[in-house]
Amino acid sequence: MTGRLSGKVAVITGAASGIGRGTVDLFVKEGAKVVAADIQDDKGARMAEEHGKSLRYIRCDVTKEGDIKAAIDLAQKAFGRVDCLFNNAGTPGPLENAETVTAESFDAVMHLHVRAAMLGIKHVTPIMRAQGGGSIISTASIAGLQNGFGPLLYSVAKAAIVHMTKLSAAQLGPMNIRVNCICPGLIATPIFAKGIGLATQVADQTVAAVSVAGKDAQPIPRTGLPRDIAEAALYLASDGSGFVNGHALAVDGGITVGPTGTAQAQVFMPFVQAMGIDPALLQQMVPAAPQS
């Protein structure tokens, strides 16, 4: 099925790489006109050349309210409307804990994730209200749903996006503006390498290694890809999700379900040993892993 976004216009932040780039490509393929907003101008120029009249690139630092408004205004000026805003820009932020966190780091992470998404909602709402509705999507994370999947500040910010999604959905729903968020799991993008300080070009080269390393981290035996998140965004942007509002959609291969197979068996091993039970009996209960 193609053309699911035919006639629609989308603004996507963080559009030049990873999840953003995957979503741009899929949205254009499905018939959308897209304003791609990012600070990676070289990649943005290549996107614009590749997609031609279907895409406009704009430099957009989402920590600046004026840049966010300019991206949304460009979509309306160039294509006449804004049917979807995808608040996607973000980074993992510093690897600080509750004892070492700094005010500067807190402000930087909250501005990049929470403040940017909130201001995106603010500036797109009048346009969507005037045209009779629209879909707002934000990238949250499974780190915002439970402990153990991201740095402290990143996780707090993503949890705030989940709650902001619900509050905004309640307020904007009567205007036929739907607000949802996507909670990615382990997705093979440069974000992990950037999180530890690697330069963009170096980080881009780590994606293949991340894809291989993460294949056994969740019940689905592969690492997630940007296309997996793009497909979720496509659904939430399309008319097919017209009755979905205020939802945090986990796209994680089941990693939040909990450990499975051998990993699950290891959780119970100390109890088995304490009771004097032969660990081999527990292993017999674990399904054999499929041979690849």
Asked if residue 281 has pLDDT above 70, the reply is no
> Which of 47, 116, 130, 119 has its CA nearest to residue 81?
130
| CB-CB contact of 182 with 172 (8 Å) | no
pLDDT in tens, 88-114: 999 988 889 999 999 999 999 999 999
Cα–chain center distance at 101: 24
Whole-model pTM: value is 0.86
Q: Are 38 and 89 in contact (CB under 8 A)?
A: yes
Residues that are catalytic: 154
Segments of 43-133 assigned E as strands = 55-59, 84-87
Are 1 and 231 in contact by the 8 Å Cβ rule? The answer is no
Nearest to 236 by CA among 169, 170, 171: 169
For 91, the token pair is 């980074």
Please write the tens of the pLDDT for every residue from 235-274. 999 999 999 999 999 999 999 987 665 555 555 556 556 6
CA distance 162 to 38: 23
pLDDT above 90 for 24: yes
Q: What is the set of domains in the chain, with CATH numbers?
A: 9-257 (3.40.50.720), 259-292 (no CATH)
Pair 154, 133: CB distance under 8 Å: no
